[in-house]
Amino acid sequence: MVVAQEARAAAVGAAVLKEGGNAVDAAVATAFALAVTHPIAGNIGGGGFLLWRGEDGRAEVIDFRETAPHGAHPRMFLKDGRYDEDLHHESLRSVGVPGTVAGLHLAWKQHGKLPWKRLLEPAIALARDGFPVTETLADSLKTFLPQWRNDAAKAQFTRAGEPMRAGEILKQPDLACTLARLAQRGPKDFYRGETARLLLKEMNGLITARDLARYRPVVRKPLAGTFHDAEVLCVPPPSGGGVALLAMLNQLEGFDLKRLGADSAETRHLEIEAMRRAFADRARWIGDPAFNPTLPVARLVSKAYAAELRRSIRPERASTSRADAFAWPVESEETTHLSVADGAGAAVSLTYTLEDNYGAKRVVPGGGFLLNNEMGDFNGEPGRTDATGLIGTKPNLAAPGKRMLSSMCPVIVTRHGKLFMVAGSPGGRTIPNTVLQVLLNVLVFGMEPQAAVDAPRLHHQWLPDQVAMERGAFAPALQDALKAKGHRLVERSRIGVAQLIVVGPEGRLHGAADATRWAESAVATGFVQEAQD
């Protein structure tokens, strides 16, 4: 089964499973297809994390997060001595060295079964032959039409400068050629070959040939924790998502949430306070472990530390987040996630991104792929902390070769050593909180998978000191009770787009796509008996 944010890409992964491919094969094929059909976040010019668990219980993380180029330094986002948001998020300085191609190839090389070329063929065909633009994609392309930052982007995603309409065929011939080169030569083309040449020309010296040639994904040991009778595997730093998730689960494990109820003011208050504390620690401590060798990860995810935090939670009153303590950099919500489980019991949870909507809004001329603006996840200015979320703490300041802090949180959950759940979500800093609530809905409140994904969500991230709640999703009485405890509430249209697979007691896979929040999300099954199921 494949659950992803776009139906054609999910079907690509399911077809790979039907041909005898495994979870990694399906994840790689789906990810390349998403680079064509879901350009808002699917990519070959970005980066992310792939969490794999084999049928024998072995697990690892492929960290293919982007890295800072050789010229990066902590004050690179200042203009005339002052922080400049455009430099940080919109300029070519915001582009990190991409990791997606190297990361997906490494995952395939270590765990894949089908030929590499086979996994790229569907993406090549979708880019070459085109596909009908959906209503969702048409609305997105129209919204971002004024923000395209080079002629190649305008040429690829418009028709003579006009936004593409639903039903029109989007063909991306340059991207098809790039994917065909990758199918033939693998990462060598992206990091040393023709694709590298095209990328370097667009970057005009801000990323160098040496930066590309030296990029390597990193194989890491997953973070592992427990929540009641479940074992939880997630990704370690440079993502703060896994640390935050385990910290929140550890805090909440000490409360009888089932007795309180899924949507009681008491439960929601406890969730908010756990979020507040986990995000405060994320901001203060987490960064690239290669540049921060003494990260206190073991302490932050320990049961003992969670007990300390739990004692600081007042059931009747909200805590206060202080802007003069610490915060974190701005992080976009336009990530994408896919969950895969194969028939042998292996699973992949993969989250990757361009950072912002369509990344840097720049397409590599002749290459057809969008550049990321992932450098915006580094802290913007050394020593600067304010209520908007900027911070200058050392762990996440820019430096050559450094990986920027992330919130990505792909998760695999087991019970008694057997696969139970594969989950994840896009959503920037809302990601770990989205995953938390989906897991609680299944593990504590006993919801069916689709109900667990569809249930209303809220979000707190330490600063700004406010609770974001999905518009129209929470009862007025609940909102009044939270306000009475001192929480400041704001509304937003959605929080996360969760993609979930649950293994039922009979061994059958149950998929839940978050189509209420993103209409194109889809479940695709890879069983031969799909029609009967």
What are residue 268's phi and psi, to 5 degrees? -65, -35
Q: Is 417 left (phi over 0), alpha (psi -120 to 50) or beta?
A: left
Cβ burial, residue 385 (10 Å; 0-12/13-18/19+): buried
Could you read off the pLDDT of 397-427 as tens digits, one per residue?
999 999 999 999 999 999 999 999 999 999 9
Q: Which two tokens stand for residue 522?
A: 């889809």
Measured CA to CA, the distance from residue 473 to residue 461 in angstroms comes to 20
389 neighbors 371 (Cβ within 8 angstroms): no
Bridge partners (DSSP) of residue 225 are 232
d(CA 206, CA 89): 15
Dist CA 314 CA 320 (whole Å): 11
* Distance, CA of 78 to CA of 423 (rounded, Å): 38
Question: What radius of gyration, in Å, describes the C-alpha atoms of the chain?
Answer: 22
Helical (H) or strand (E) element with 436: helix 431-443
Residue 197 buriedness (CB in 10 A; 0-12 / 13-18 / 19+): middle
Which has the closest alpha carbon to 495: 444, 437, 440?
437
Domains and CATH numbers, the chain: 2-49+64-218+348-389 (no CATH), 220-329+408-524 (3.60.20.40)
Q: How much is the pLDDT for 530?
A: 41
Token representation of residue 45: 């010019």
Q: Which residues, 6 or more positions from 298, have their beta carbon under 8 angstroms from its beta carbon?
A: none
Q: How far apart are CA 245 and CA 262, in angstroms?
A: 18
List strands edge to edge, sheet with 489-492: 458-459, 467-470, 489-492
On whether the CB atoms of residues 352 and 49 are closer than 8 A, the answer is yes
Of 438, 483, 460, 469, the C-alpha closest to 277 is 460
C-beta of residue 208 within 8 angstroms of C-beta of residue 69: yes
Within 10 A of 160 (CB to CB), how many other CB atoms are there? 6
* Alpha carbon separation from 283 to 319, 385, 393 (Å, rounded): 17, 11, 8
CB of 141 closer than 8 Å to CB of 157: yes
- Check: CB of residue 235 under 8 Å from CB of residue 49: yes
- Crossing angle of helices 431-443 and 241-253, in 10° steps, is 40
Distance of CA 374 to the CA centre of its chain: 12
Active site residues: 335
Q: How many angstroms separate the Cα of 330 from the Cα of each of 91, 335, 390, 429?
A: 15, 14, 7, 9
> How many CA atoms lie within 13 Å of 272's alpha carbon, on the beta-carbon side?
31
pLDDT of residue 148: 96
| Separation of CA 510 from chain center | 22
Backbone angles phi, psi at 155, to 5 degrees: -65, -35
What phi-psi label fits residue 91: left (phi over 0), alpha (psi between -120 and 50 degrees) or beta?
Answer: beta
Instruction: Give the position of tokens 């970057």.
Output: 203
User: Residue holding tokens 């801000």?
Assistant: 206
In the numeric block, the tokens 């640390």 are attached to 243
359 contact partners, CB below 8 Å, separation of at least 6: 43, 45, 46, 95, 370, 371, 372, 373, 374
Binned average pLDDT, 10 residues per bin, the chain of 533 residues: 98 98 98 98 98 98 98 96 95 98 98 98 98 97 95 96 96 98 98 98 98 98 98 98 98 98 98 96 94 96 96 94 57 87 97 96 98 95 69 86 97 97 97 98 98 98 94 98 98 97 95 97 78 34
* Per-residue model confidence as pLDDT tens digits over 307-330: 999 999 999 999 988 766 543 345
Q: What 3 state SS string does 180-247 have?
A: HHHHHHCHHHHHHCHHHHHHHHHHCCCCCHHHHHHCCCEEECCEEEEECCEEEEECCCCECHHHHHHH
Supply the pLDDT for residue 386. 60
Closest among 62, 280, 320, 361 to 187, alpha carbons compared: 62
